[in-house]
Amino acid sequence: MARSARNTDTAPEPAPALDASLEDLIGYALRRAQLKLFQNLIARLAVHDLRPAQFSALAIIDQSPGLMQADLARALAIEPPQVVPLLNKLEERALAVRIRCKPDKRSYGIFLSKTGEALLKELRQIASDSDRDATAALDDSERAELLRLLKKVYQE
């Protein structure tokens, strides 16, 4: 088979894996990074039979004891009906409780149980370790800068 008349001294360039325009999209890069972070975290939380949304819910409830379901939905950026099954699972595991509010008997405040508080301490360390491992390619200043920029995007 004859070689082309092009430069034969170098190996052919590999075909790009993706359309270069896709690689230049922040949303695409964020999604790829999020997948890497979540795969790592999901594997670690699986030991406790928890998902990232459940961990996030526990952390938010801990920060705002007594918050209402609608407030939790807003903090998790999910629709209010999605909070019900999430809370049901946390209650089944005795990690959180819903307590009827005295002023408005139709409303319930959400609190962590003692078991939930104890587990959350361990989960925070798991999440921190997972975060560090998944971003090991970054040094501390790069990691801090990435976090600052991401917060700037989502808090706008």
pLDDT for 49: 96
Provide the 3-class DSSP secondary structure of residue 150. Answer: helix
State yes or no: pLDDT of 48 exceeds 70. yes
27-132 in CATH: which number?
1.10.10.10
The model carries a pTM of 0.78
Dump pLDDT digits (tens) for 24-42: 899 999 999 999 999 999 9
Looking up tokens 């959180």, which residue turns up?
A: 96
For the chain, which residues make up each domain, given as ranges?
27-132
- Per-residue confidence (pLDDT) for residue 7, from 0 to 100: 46
Inter-residue contact 117 to 97 (CB < 8 Å): no
67-122 per-position pLDDT tens digit: 999 999 999 999 999 999 999 999 999 999 999 877 777 788 999 999 999 999 99
pLDDT for position 106: 74
Q: Give the residue from 68, 64, 69 showing the smallest Cα distance to 84.
A: 69
Give, in order, the Cα–Cα distances in Å from 40 to each of 45, 132, 135: 9, 10, 11
